[in-house]
Amino acid sequence: MSIGSGYRGAWGKGIAVFLAAAGCFLLRGLPSRVTALAARPPLLAFVAEDRSPAGMELLKPASGVWPLSSFLEDEGGETDPAYRVWLAERDAGAAEAAKGTVTEAGAAAGDAPGQETAGTGEADGGEAAAGGEAPAESGSPAAGPGTAGEAVQASGEPAMAATEVRGTLYTAEQLADFEFVKKTFFYVHKSTTVYPEQLDASVLLGKDMTLPESGEPQVLLFHTHGSEAFSDSEEGNPDMTVVGVGNYLAELLETQYGIRVIHNTEVFPYSDSYSLALDMVERTLAEHPSIQVTIDLHRDSGGHDVVDVNGKPTAPIMLFNGMCQTPDGPLEDVENPYLLDNLAFNFQMKLKGEAYYPGLMLRTFLKAYRYNQHVLPRATLIEVGTENNTFEEARNAMEPLADLLYKVLRGK
Report the pLDDT value the prediction gives residue 157, as an integer from 0 to 100. 76
3-state secondary structure of 337: coil
How does pLDDT run across 240-261, given as a tens digit for each residue?
999 999 999 999 999 999 999 9
- DSSP labels, 200-218: -HHHHHHS-------SS--
Report the pLDDT value the prediction gives residue 210, as an integer from 0 to 100. 98
Average pLDDT score over the chain: 76
pLDDT band, very low/low/confident/very high, at 26 (cuts 50, 70, 90) = low
Given phi > 0 = left and psi -120 to 50 = alpha, else beta, which region is 56? alpha
Residue 296 dihedral angles phi and psi, to the nearest 5° = -100, 100
Model confidence at 221: pLDDT above 50: yes
pLDDT band, very low/low/confident/very high, at 8 (cuts 50, 70, 90) = low
User: Are the beta carbons of 39 and 80 closer than 8 angstroms?
Assistant: yes
Residues β-bridged to residue 263: 221
When mean pLDDT is compared across 41-45, 207-211, 287-291, the lowest value belongs to 41-45
Model confidence at 45: pLDDT above 90: no
Neighbours of 159 (CB within 10 A): 11
pLDDT, average across residues 174-195: 96
Among the ranges 14-23, 56-65, 359-368, which has the highest mean pLDDT value? 359-368
pTM to 2 decimals? Answer: 0.68
pLDDT, average across residues 258-268: 97
How does pLDDT run across 332-343, given as a tens digit for each residue?
989 999 999 999
Residues 256, 121, 231: CA angle, nearest 5 degrees: 70
User: Are the beta carbons of 111 and 408 closer than 8 angstroms?
Assistant: no
* Alpha carbons 81 and 77: distance in angstroms, whole number: 12
Report the pLDDT value the prediction gives residue 158, as an integer from 0 to 100. 86
Residues β-bridged to residue 219: 261, 293
Report the pLDDT value the prediction gives residue 182, as an integer from 0 to 100. 97
Report the pLDDT value the prediction gives residue 196, as an integer from 0 to 100. 97
* Alpha carbons 380 and 96: distance in angstroms, whole number: 30
pLDDT band, very low/low/confident/very high, at 93 (cuts 50, 70, 90) = low
**Which among 273, 261, 279, 272 has a CA at the least distance from the CA of 223?**
273
Residue with the bigger pLDDT between 317 and 135: it is 317
